[in-house]
Chains A and B, each alone.
Chain A
């Protein structure tokens, strides 16, 4: 299987899912290419393009929540960061993805409680 062809196909299909959710691919093309390649490798190994930045738990019901694009399962968290956990997707209004940080959900919740 050709990795580049598969990356193109995943990109095309993911675009249709993330667009109505208010997200777009990160403007950082290098990052997008790298992450998509990792997803293709995960798909070749497991049959499913899991998120490359989150660990598999071996519990199917949990692992299905990190099938890319996993935005619907982590919507609140990602909306707060304006990006998905990997940074593959960012909010449509984001122009500089480097400004966005990867913040664990518990820290976001803690910050919200304090302020």
Chain B
């Protein structure tokens, strides 16, 4: 079923827009004039992808920098965990006392990165519709 989710004026080239349709969170992406619709939530840890960045057709999650191809929904890389150690002048890494980042890193390594779903988009006049 085609549902109007936005107007074309709301989504400039290179822009993204999060919309809710039938209780689903969808992200519209304008890749150089072509509009694509994907899940708004990251296939890794559910972070909102509209806070990430869109470069061409590659959408980067703001949380762990997993990238998705918005034309296919394919996850392209593994998460990049933020560097939490500090380095002394001689290059040795010091650990944070409570070991929390290491503990979380070990847990995160068991979380699989899934592809995100894509939705067919049709632009009719000034209206963006998705098939959902």
Nearest A residue (CB) for B85: A60
Q: Hey, what's the 0/1 contact readout for B84-97 against A, CB within 8 Å counting as 1? A: 01010001010000
A62 touches B76 (CB 8 A): no
Instruction: Name the B residues within 8 Å of A43 (CB-CB).
Output: 77-78
Among listed A4-12, A21-29, A76-84, interface-contacting one:
A4-12
**Which residues of A does B touch, CB under 8 Å?**
1-2, 5-6, 9, 12-13, 16, 43-44, 47-48, 57-62
Give the residue of B58, B74, B75, B78 whose beta carbon is less than 8 angstroms from that of A13: B58
5 A-B pairs within 8 Å (CB atoms) are namely A2-B74, A5-B74, A13-B58, A47-B80, A48-B80
| B55 interface residue (CB < 8 Å to A) | yes
Q: A9-B67, A47-B80, A59-B87 are in contact. List 13 more A-B contacts (CB 8 A).
A: A1-B76, A5-B69, A5-B72, A6-B77, A12-B56, A16-B55, A44-B78, A47-B78, A47-B81, A58-B91, A59-B91, A61-B87, A61-B91
Checking A1, A12, A16, A59 against B75 with a beta-carbon cut-off of 8 angstroms, the contacting residue is A1
* B78 & A1 in contact (Cβ 8 Å cutoff): yes
Give A101 Cβ to nearest chain B Cβ, in Å: 31
**What's the least CB distance linking B42 to chain A, in Å?**
15
Interface centre among B56, B77, B93, B113 (most CB of A within 10 A): B77
Contacting pair B76 A6 (CB below 8 A): yes
Indicate if the CB atoms of A60 and B83 lie closer than 8 Å: yes
For A16, list chain B residues within 8 Å (CB).
55
- B91 contacts A62, CB within 8 Å? yes
**For B67, B76, B80, B87, which residue has the most chain A Cβ atoms within 10 angstroms?**
B76
Bound-state Cα–Cα, A58 to B72, Å: 36
Does B87 lie within 8 Å of A5, measured CB to CB?
no
Interface residues of B in 45-90 (CB under 8 A from A): 55-56, 58, 67, 69, 72, 74-81, 83, 85, 87
Contacts of A13 in B (CB 8 A): 55, 58
Q: Which residues of chain B are within 8 angstroms of A9 by Cβ–Cβ distance? A: 58, 67, 69, 76-77
Q: How far apart sit A43 and B67, CA to CA, in the bound complex (Å)? A: 13
